[in-house]
Amino acid sequence: MNRFIALTVAGILAATSAFAEGVTEEMLANDTASTGDVLTNGMGRHLQRYSPLDILNKDNVDNLVPAWAFSLGGEKQRGQETQPIVHDGVMYITGSYSRMYAIDVKTGQEIWQYDARLPEGILPCCDVVNRGAAIYGDNIYFGTLDARIVALNAKTGDTVWNKKIADYKAGYSYTAAPLIVNGLIITGNSGGEFGIVGAVQARDAETGELVWDRPVIEGHMGMLNGEESTMTGTLNATWPGDMWKTGGGATWLGGSYDADTDTLVFGTGNPAPWNSWLRDAGQNNDGSGDNLYAASRIGIDPATGEIKWHFQTTPREGWDYDGVNEVVAYENRAGEKRFATADRNGFFYVLNRDDGAFVRGVPFVKDISWAAGLDENGRPIYNEENRPGDPAAAADGKKGEVVFASPSFLGGKNWMPMAFSQRTGNFYVPSNEWGMDIWNEPITYKKGAAYLGSGFTIKPNYEDHIGSLKAIDPDTGDVKWEFKNDAPLWGGVMTTAGGLVFTGTPDGRFIAFDDDTGDVLWSFQTGSGIVGQPVTWEQDGEQYVTVISGWGGAVPLWGGEVAKKVNYLNQGGTLWTFRLPKQLASAN
């Protein structure tokens, strides 16, 4: 039975030009250049989050005013991390607890609402968030916290199909925006803290039928068109015993698509358990304990699910430095085609687009303690004394040596997406300067139970700030400017041809910066912390900007001393849309 609430207000659909035509592959491929809509997560499947619009610019951004606000209402709030999709006069957003809304972009009025009505016993590790939807044909798609992918009719909200990604009772969930390429809807999975196995799946977007399934932990078999496909790596090559069976590596942030090389690029999360000594990772550095392909970036053939290449950011991972952060395809100032990614481990990497090979890596946070740097292949040069101790070597066998590691396990950068500006050639990276006390403990796997084998307490590294938005030159690694914030930054970033950089803060400010200098040019108080992702588009000759406000996510749940610093912040759930009126576009 379909679960949505349709408004009975006559004329809502007639008042919009919605649903004039289905979304095509060509439209998705052209998303960045097509300024009248936003059809993909990342404002382009390369994830640059850049708009060529310059109606709104440094000279007139002061005249940006609210157009309308939409409340998600009810008691189901918590963190709101969605990126809106805009098509033919309708905006689609996802909300906490696996909800979706269709909204008239001219009036802010709800057209329909869908509630997944989650079962008892879901196991999300890091709040009940959802990061957005995908649109294709006549359908709008999103994932749910009980590890399902749902296709809805974009016009009515009726369920077209509803498919299971994995077993939520084993700790699987799904929070990312899906990715659509050539009629396939591509999804990852969440649940790395429960000993699940990371995977990427592709389904026929029209029917929901599984086309291929690619596990990302060494030793597991894939599937293509109902038949077993090749194994991921060599059994037990980098995992001891049966540890690969519950090896983690969740692909929980979703992926990007590089059309030039026809490659899906996904990041993989932490190996499980966190206690690296159980994975034989703390005892050598010869590659046998690398635990492939956890904490890596992986290039995948979109037609077959075969792995083309991999780059492991943190082999022998022991600090929960997930490798899931977005991989952005871009051209540098010399016209070279590159990938860039800012890892939780604190390093900013540039990779070759053809094969994922390491080009360069530099720190983008100030106090990396677990590694002294990277070698010529991008492999970390470990500070072994900064690896959490082996509990088996402790006198009581219950708690290994406590170390202070920086960055914290929430990362130099977590899920919140950075942006690339085609105007400046710089990346704008939302980062955090924090560390943690961390120690290892004994642990055994139990289905559906947390599988960490570690304890931790997060602490700020500096008294005057935690969050830091940095403008980074990817050719040199130089930080061009920095904006410091008292509380952690947890929201996405967007850039525009008008010379603007947009992001939000936990205290509710939605801010526009000068992309060259970092000067604050405009800000608006939204009433709750911003952990969502801004977008912009053009309508009737005017430029609009939208962001969702609603404090939550992993920081208040896992943040230790940092969480106490921001426990005064209010939860919310409001979608804010701003416009630059035509008559003010040329005003200074």
Q: Tell me how far apart the 2 most distant CA atoms of the chain are, in Å.
A: 74
User: CA 169, 175, 181 angle in degrees (round to 5)?
Assistant: 115
Q: Characterise 254 by phi-psi region: left (phi > 0), alpha (psi -120 to 50), beta (else).
A: left
Lookup result for tokens 């006549």 = 138
Q: Characterise 558 by phi-psi region: left (phi > 0), alpha (psi -120 to 50), beta (else).
A: alpha
Report cis status (omega within 30 of 0) of the bond before 293.
yes
Residue 570 phi/psi, 5° resolution? -85, 140
Question: Exposed e or buried b for every residue in 523-550, given b needs 16+ CB within 10 A?
Answer: ebebebbbbbbbbbbbbeebbbbbbbbb
Active-site annotation holder among 37, 258, 290, 320: 320
Using alpha carbons, select from 156, 405, 150 the residue that is nearest to residue 274: 405
Task: Name the token pair of 518.
Answer: 């970092």
CA distances from 372 to 25, 286, 362, 375, 380 (A): 45, 18, 11, 10, 7
| Known catalytic membership, residue 519 | no
- The SS3 call for residue 194 is helix
DSSP 331-383: E-TTS-EEEEEE-TTSEEEEEETTT--EEEEEE-SS---SEEEE-TTS-EEE-
Neighbours of 325 (CB within 10 A): 26
Q: Contact 408/431 with Cβ under 8 angstroms?
A: no
Using alpha carbons, select from 160, 178, 210, 475 the residue that is nearest to residue 334: 475
Task: Name the token pair of 433.
Answer: 């300067």
Active-site positions read 320
